[in-house]
Amino acid sequence: MNSIDLHCDTIMRLMEGDKSEGLYRNSLSVDIEKLQAGKAQAQFFAMFINLQTDGDPLVRALRMIDRFYQEIEDNKQYIALARNYGEFQQNQADGKLSAFLTIEEGGALKGELINLRNFYRLGVRLITLTWNYPNEIGHPSALPECRERGLTPFGREVVAEMNRLGMIIDVSHLSNQGLYEVAALTQKPFVASHSNAWSVTTHHRNLTDEMIKVLATKGGVMGINFEKSFLGSAPFSRVEDMVLHIQHIYNVGGIEVIAIGSDFDGISPELELAHAGEMSKLVDALGKAGFGQAEIDKICWKNALRVIKDTLQ
């Protein structure tokens, strides 16, 4: 079983945790050994920024990108940067995992398209437009007063420039209105890299049925998030709840809109599917729920790969 995971916060945890740990083997949910055990093809690594605690967001992003590249260099026999579909294919041919570099907080741009273009030159290929606070691009779903507020004029410029450059626009954390405006503006598929279904679990981080339909219509995907509070009310993250969300999204938006966005190393640690090496638990549960192998392949990797192929340059 192959897999592509659209979101993890492992680089942040490596920077803030035990200094002796690295990407090859660690005590977290994502490392190279676990990715190999789970038959992963690619992992999207988020450079996470908290606008209220991390100081200058541009400097923070650059420091995290430096750590990302240190880890890639230290483990270059196992993993390599991928910036597009062609590099992903080359890594597959070389027997290596693909690492996609992303930024989780558009505030790192500091309101300047120059910074967007320089992040592109550094290898960033996906940007989550907001986290939990308003920024120069738009408004978050986390604040009730922001959910009907859309993109700023700069945010609209960012959408157009990301389309031109060939970068994936990520609307997880973005306000409802912001998602609709991205959908109206973008010329390419976009994603909600780590979000679930509002109709199953009413959490502000999840997408309503209408949002799912809009995302599907644009050829995008939403990555199932393993965070327990996004999945249900159980005291731990249950695979059966992941399946419930997947079934609902399938019924609303079709099989093509479903992907994986675990949010490993950025979520509560109470996990039935505890790390990247245990992805077979979800695959087995999907099979028992009646999903065929072709559908499981689409959920686990083919849908995400389609967006990579259609969007990245």
pLDDT tens track for 243-270:
999 999 999 999 999 999 999 999 999 9
- % of residues, the chain, pLDDT over 90: 96
The predicted structure's pLDDT at residue 185: 99
Q: What is the pTM of this model?
A: 0.97
The predicted structure's pLDDT at residue 75: 99
Contacts of 15 (CB under 8 A, 6+ apart): 63, 64, 67
Per DSSP, helices labelled H in the chain are: 10-16, 32-37, 57-74, 85-93, 113-121, 153-165, 176-185, 209-217, 228-231, 239-253, 280-288, 293-297, 303-311
Mean pLDDT of the chain: 97
The predicted structure's pLDDT at residue 116: 99
Distance, in Å, from the CA atom of 99 to the CA atom of 95, rounded to the nearest integer, reads 13
Distance, in Å, from the CA atom of 35 to the CA atom of 31, rounded to the nearest integer, reads 6
The arithmetic mean of pLDDT across residues 153-168, rounded, is 99
The arithmetic mean of pLDDT across residues 77-81, rounded, is 99
The predicted structure's pLDDT at residue 146: 64
Closest residue by Cα to residue 295 from 279, 305, 283 = 283
DSSP tally for the chain: helices H, then strands E: 13, 9
Closest residue by Cα to residue 12 from 58, 49, 55 = 49
The predicted structure's pLDDT at residue 302: 99
The predicted structure's pLDDT at residue 20: 87
Residue 1 has pLDDT above 80, yes or no: no
Contact 108, 56 (CB under 8 A): no
Contact 181, 149 (CB under 8 A): no
The arithmetic mean of pLDDT across residues 38-57, rounded, is 97
- % of residues, the chain, pLDDT over 70: 100
Distance, in Å, from the CA atom of 308 to the CA atom of 125, rounded to the nearest integer, reads 9
CATH of the domain spanning 3-311: 3.20.20.140
The predicted structure's pLDDT at residue 313: 86
The arithmetic mean of pLDDT across residues 52-67, rounded, is 97
The four Cα atoms 172, 178, 180, 182 give a dihedral, to 10 degrees, of -80
The arithmetic mean of pLDDT across residues 71-91, rounded, is 99
Find residue 222's DSSP bridge partners: 192, 258
The arithmetic mean of pLDDT across residues 137-152, rounded, is 87
Residue 52 has pLDDT above 90, yes or no: yes
Q: How many CB atoms lie within 10 A of CB 278?
A: 16
